Structure formats: structure tokens, C-alpha cells
Structure 1
Amino acid sequence: MDYLTDEWILPSRLDDFQAIGMIEVNGFIFDARKLPYELQSIAYEKGLIPYIPADRKEKADS
């Protein structure tokens, strides 16, 4: 149990939780929501982020 895990966030508030999108690559911290789609999908496949942010943005824009 930790404050920065997504287990304690309501699904409706998941997009607002800043720590969900942060990943570390080679010692650098990136916001996965601002990475290209290909890198978002790799992070999702590795379990680093709970969903692909670009997919949710496309649905919201529709």
C-alpha cells in the first residue's frame, strides 16, 4: 500500500492523478502522457502505466 499507487484512485479520477503517468527510463523521469504513442504502448505492455493515455484522449475527442 502506497500513496502513489493507482489502487486507491477512483477510475473517474485516474486521469487527474499526476503520478500515474510518470515513468523512469535510464534515470530520467518522463510523463508518459506526453510521449509518442509507440512509447506509451511499450510502457503499458511492461506494466509501467495502467492504460495508454493516447487511446483515452482519442475517445474523449470523439
Structure 2
Amino acid sequence: MKVVNYVSEAFHELRSNVTWPEWPEVQRLTIIVAIFSIVFALLTWGVDTVFSKALESFFNILK
């Protein structure tokens, strides 16, 4: 019974006490997050590629 009461109160709080952003703001922030995620993924790929090439060169020198 406690779980049902908790879920009910949580939904009530979401409906009455949470201030939801306007739709244009949600769209703008979603675009910002998507662009940041793509840039971060490309940077991670680039660093991974550079380190991979550097380690490959290092181990080829040791041969």
C-alpha cells in the first residue's frame, strides 16, 4: 500500500508543483543537447584515433 501511495503522491506533485518549460524552450534545449552530444562524440572518436595511431607507431618502433 505504501508503494501505491508513493506513486500517487509523486504524480500529484508532478501535476501541481512542477513548472514545465514552454515548448519552444524544450525544442531549443533539445537541439543544444543534440549538437553537444554529436560534437562530444566526434571529439572522443578523434582522440581515440590519435591515441590508437600513436600507440601503433610506438609499438612498431619497439619491434
- Give the TM-score, by structure 1 length: 0.23
Structure number with higher strand proportion? 1
Larger RCO: 1 or 2 (CA < 8 Å, sep 6+): 1
Max Rg structure: 2
- Give the TM-score, by structure 2 length: 0.23
